[in-house]
Amino acid sequence: MKIKNFFFRNQHWLLPLLFLLVLVYATLRNYFLPVSYMDGVQCGVTQYNNYIIFKNSFFHLLDHLNLYSSYSKEQYDLFKYTPSFALFFGLFALLPNALGLFLWNLLNVGLPILGFSQLLGLNNKTKPVLLLLLIPEMLTSVLNSQSNGLLLGLMLLSLAAIQRENTLKAVVFICITGFIKIFGIALFAVFLLYPNQLKKAILQAFVVMLILFGLPLIVTSFDTLRQQYLNYFDLLKNDGNTFVKYSVMAWLNSWFHLNISKNIVLAIGLAIQLLPLFFQSDYLRKNRIIYGLSWMIWVVIFNHMAESATFIIAVGAIMAFLSMRDKISIYHLLAFLLLFLLTELGPSDIYPRYMRIWIVEEAQLKVFPCVVFWIFTLLEMMNVDFKKFKRLNYSWLNKINLLTTCWKVEI
């Protein structure tokens, strides 16, 4: 109780401090453990290999080299982002690795916090707790030097801009997201619930996309840029053609031994995701931004190449979804416990290595709680009342003093 009271009284400085510790730890750990080992053999890959890939892409762009070729002497794995992202990374690439890595991690930690602070409708009592519980997933992302924290921040900021009817700002954020990872453009679907902004968004998106596409022309020719994009889309077409990582596709295969084409699963998932648009329930009209949070979960769980570090986007959206509620049902609470124990802590050293592999890879338990929450968001937007399903006595929940101190638990 004393710890809880201390946290709530001092959250204004304690939360930023905790996120700063995550940032400093991840940066120092990765920088001072610069070489990876595989089966005890040094393999010459830095712990911040993704940062090195991004950095090299900027210089490859300057040198008019194919961004999507293998450069095994410089880095492990391929560059899988747009030429515009390669140009953007020049802001970090020209700095010493230690400083550049720190600033890159700072962007990926700081932007989600900014996004949460801008999003309207969050419960001020639950938001700090949920941000605190986001830290494990944040650490997973930052330790991989990935761009997913940046994507989460941009997506939340775009939704906040839509709430404030700042269409241009929302369009810019969504377009930037799309030029980092193409699935980010899915958030344009939210404008279907904002008809007064839709036409303006379409026109503005065309202009912003054109500008972002042409930015690399500052350092390269049009023919070279055109070829870079042909190479980029060829990479996307062939990347993981049959292999699936942590996704609905892998979950269906693991649990039900269903080896369905990922394109079929994706099409079915898209059709289900669009269902709320046909219901237009009172709940959806009052809580339209939850449709955007639902898309943020969707783009992760239906991405057949999603990695463990990608899940900060889905988990961040789930945290925002929960914080928009004054009351939480037993179903949400139990799903949240699964999310924290399996999705967030699943890849961590809290479990033995064999158990981590089973949770994340074999049983696909990292993705499962996200699938559950995706279904929850859809059911709520279609105005399905969870109270109809109450049958059991959940009085034991009164003993739980973590989240129930912030929410009124519906039992």
Task: Tell me the per-residue pLDDT of 300-323, one tens digit each, with 9 for 90 and over.
Answer: 999 988 899 999 999 999 999 999
How much is the mean pLDDT over the chain? 88
Polymer length of the chain:
411
Average pLDDT over residues 263-279: 92
Three-class SS state of 203: helix
HSE-up of residue 23 (Cα within 13 Å, Cβ side): 23
Tokens, residue 152: 């989460």
Average pLDDT over residues 101-122: 95
User: By C-alpha distance, which of 306, 18, 308 is closest to 137?
Assistant: 308
- Kind plus residue range of the DSSP H or E element containing 38: strand 37-38
Residue 243 confidence (pLDDT): 61
HSE-up of residue 271 (Cα within 13 Å, Cβ side): 6
Beta bridge partners of 408: 327
- CA-to-CA dists, residue 239 to 159, 245, 303, angstroms: 30, 12, 12
Q: Is the pLDDT of residue 132 over 50?
A: yes
User: Which pLDDT tens digit goes with each residue over 361-397?
Assistant: 999 999 999 999 999 999 888 876 555 544 444 444 4
User: By C-alpha distance, which of 320, 300, 303, 305 is closest to 377?
Assistant: 320
> DSSP secondary-structure letter at 257?
-
Quickly tell me which residue has 């269409």 as its tokens: 167
Three-class SS state of 42: strand
User: By C-alpha distance, which of 152, 411, 197 is closest to 293?
Assistant: 152
Residue 274 confidence (pLDDT): 94
Residue 387 confidence (pLDDT): 52
List all residues 6 or more positions away from 321 whose beta carbon is below 8 Å from its beta carbon.
290, 293, 294, 373, 376, 377
How far is the C-alpha of 233 from the C-alpha of 151, rounded, in Å?
20
User: Which pLDDT tens digit goes with each residue over 30-40?
Assistant: 998 866 554 44
Tokens, residue 66: 């194919």
Three-class SS state of 409: strand
User: By C-alpha distance, which of 17, 139, 34 is closest to 148?
Assistant: 139
Sign, CA torsion 39/22/99/60: positive
pLDDT level of residue 398 (50, 70, 90 thresholds): very low
Do 365 and 308 contact (CB within 8 A), yes or no? Answer: no
User: By C-alpha distance, which of 33, 151, 35, 145 is closest to 100?
Assistant: 145
How far is the C-alpha of 28 from the C-alpha of 323, rounded, in Å?
32
Amino acid at 301: I
Residue 242 confidence (pLDDT): 52
- Kind plus residue range of the DSSP H or E element containing 97: helix 97-118
- CA-to-CA dists, residue 163 to 115, 194, 208, angstroms: 12, 9, 20
Residue 180 confidence (pLDDT): 94
Amino acid at 196: N
Q: Phi and psi for 408 in degrees, rounded to 5?
A: -90, 120
Beta bridge partners of 328: 409
Tokens, residue 214: 């042409």
User: By C-alpha distance, which of 115, 171, 129 is closest to 336?
Assistant: 129
Beta bridge partners of 410: 329
For the chain, percent of residues with pLDDT exceeding 90:
67
Average pLDDT over residues 202-223: 96
Average pLDDT over residues 223-237: 94
Residue 76 confidence (pLDDT): 84
User: By C-alpha distance, which of 262, 267, 239, 241 is closest to 250?
Assistant: 262
